[in-house]
Amino acid sequence: MGILCPNPRPGTLRETFFAQSLGYSHHLKYPARGDFLVDGTYTVEIGGPNKKFSQIEKIPDSFVAADGIETGMGEKIPLWLFGFLY
């Protein structure tokens, strides 16, 4: 599947996709909670279709970018939509 890692974990693929889609035009950091801090404002947790908000609850401007869903609701955004930002 991959050149550097023949069997990458699904979470690694999801986070790599997100970072690749946003990293060229947005500033990304690794926050204490969540997977990415985008432009110093938005905390994003990456996960599968059943990902919950427990890791980022009570953090202002926080979102879940979920793989395996077609449409989002509230602060849960389909991961594939971030590909349009590239």
In a domain, 1, yes or no: no
Is residue 3, in this structure, part of any structural domain at all? no
State pTM to two decimals: 0.90
Domain hosting residue 51, numbered range: 10-55+65-85
Residue 2 lies in a domain: no
Q: How far is CA 59 from CA 18, 34, 71, in A?
A: 20, 9, 23
Per-residue CA distances from 80 to 3, 60, 66, 72 (Å): 22, 23, 8, 11
Q: Is residue 60 part of a domain?
A: no
What does DSSP assign to residue 81? G
Cβ atoms of 67 and 48 within 8 Å: the answer is: yes
**pLDDT tens-digit map of 3-51:** 677 888 999 999 999 999 999 999 999 999 999 999 999 999 999 999 9
4 located within any domain: no
Q: How many domains does the chain have?
A: 1
